[in-house]
Amino acid sequence: MSFSLANWTTNWQKDGRFSKNYTSVLIEKACRLDSQLNNAYCRGTLKVIAGPHRKAGPGEGGDARWHMTLQPSANSSCWHIILDNSVTRPVKINKRELTGHGF
């Protein structure tokens, strides 16, 4: 696999310690955990909304766990790929499904 199979938003890098190459490796590991994610990656429809980060929301809101935010396709909700505390491997995939006007 190659990081060229994913689309990267302009401001994907939320923490400068994590490069596109490193984030790509984490995405490839996450693809081993979920076939839908892997299929989106292989089709080239996977969008990287945010690389590894935590608490990136307004007023330091958001997820306090290390995670990446990915969108499998243009018509899907964004998913959080929860990472271990050392930010070396994904441990869980939170599929945030859109229902009505929110999650």
pTM score > 0.95 for this model? no
Instruction: Identify the pLDDT of residue 61.
Output: 63
For the chain, what is the HEC assignment?
Answer: CCHHHCEECCCCCCCCCCCHHHHHHHHHHHHCCCHHHHHHHHHCCCEEEEEEECCCCHHHCCCCCCEEEEECCCCCCCEEEEECCCCCCEEEEEECCCECCEC
Instruction: Identify the pLDDT of residue 68.
Output: 95
The list of the chain residues with pLDDT below 70 reads: 1-5, 56-62, 97-103
Give tens-digit pLDDT for 25-44: 999 999 999 999 999 999 99
